[in-house]
Structure 1
Amino acid sequence: MPLKWENLAFQPDKALSEHILSTWEWLLASKDVRPFLCSVVGDCFLANQDGKVLRLCCTDGTLEIVSNSRGEFDDLCREFAQDVELWFLPDLVLQAHKQGKIAKKGQCYQFIILPIFAECEFHADNLGVVPASELYTMLSDVHKQLKDLPEGAEVQLKLID
């Protein structure tokens, strides 16, 4: 069962774009960026005024420049460069599909045990499907609270409805 790009990524609508910018404002505040692509595993790609493409890695709460232009970014994606494997996790998405976990429009895969924890496994058994807006909110909340902790610090998560 081959995957198509629409199984790996989607263009955020205006509401989701604004939601991402507002929930991740603590990290994006000084940047003038606009989301243009989201991976179904939760990363968001943004373009800045200089045309550079930045990756908001929601699994570890970081922001990095991944290409100098949209054209260069598109070339990387077409070539399916090594970084693209990391950004879109096609093997993991394929595992999820084989288990019947298929993210539909407006949805993403969420790790049950987040990749920032040593216990995380990159396996479809550790994935659920959630609305994209919920994923971006939850991951932003977690990373905002953990951003100043040292590597390896012990944390306790308290889930509240």
Structure 2
Amino acid sequence: MDIIKELNESWGWAGLQALEVVGENDFGNLIIKDVQGRYWRLMPEECSCAVVAPDRQALDVLSANQDFLQDWYMAGLSKIAREHCGPLTEGRKYCLKIPGVLGGEYKAENLASAPLHELIRLSGDVARQMQGLPNGAKVKLNVVD
């Protein structure tokens, strides 16, 4: 699966025109350079993808920020995920079974692993459907085969 194609199909509605992935973590968070030279952060567990730096210089500054780095590496949660789900295999990332934006908790019982392309697709679809909803709005999930 072409990750750039998946990013553009799943998150193009939000304005992302991905050019390359320049960073990734164990939870499928990606730092993505777009065609305009901006840098986006995809956070599948929160169904969000937004510009975090307007250019490479700003990304370098962000990359030295300790709060950002702590959030990016998710070291404690990654350790729990490895213990609960086992090591990651090729193309898979840890994830929340129920995304945080839908009330899913950052606890072992809510952790799993899934193919990265599925995390990109699901988070983009959920975010697109939820855009414009006020914080705290009730949503109903319909799961179909």
Structure-2 residue corresponding to 1:95: 80
> What are the ranges of 5 or more consecutive residues in structure 2 without an aligned counterpart?
none
**Aligned with 1:158 (options 124, 142, 145):** 142
Structure-1 residue corresponding to 2:98: 113
- 1:67 and 1:90 mapped to 2: Cα distance? 27
TM-score norm. by structure 2 comes to: 0.81
**Aligned with 2:10 (options 13, 23, 28):** 23
SS of residue paired to 1:144: helix
Instruction: Sort the Cα spacing of 1:72 and 1:66 in 2 relative to 1 into closer, same or farther, 3 A.
Output: closer
Structure-2 residue corresponding to 1:62: 49
Residue by residue, what CA displacement relative to the aligned partner does 1:35-60 show, whole Å, maximum 9, x if unpaired? 31332213221113554422123324
Report how many residues are paired: 143
- RMSD of equivalent CA atoms: 2.4
Structure-2 residue corresponding to 1:133: 117
Residue by residue, what CA displacement relative to the aligned partner does 1:58-97 show, whole Å, maximum 9, x if unpaired? 324230224631x6646755x5721122123121011111
Q: Which has the higher helix share?
A: 2
Of all paired residues, the percent bearing the same amino acid is 22
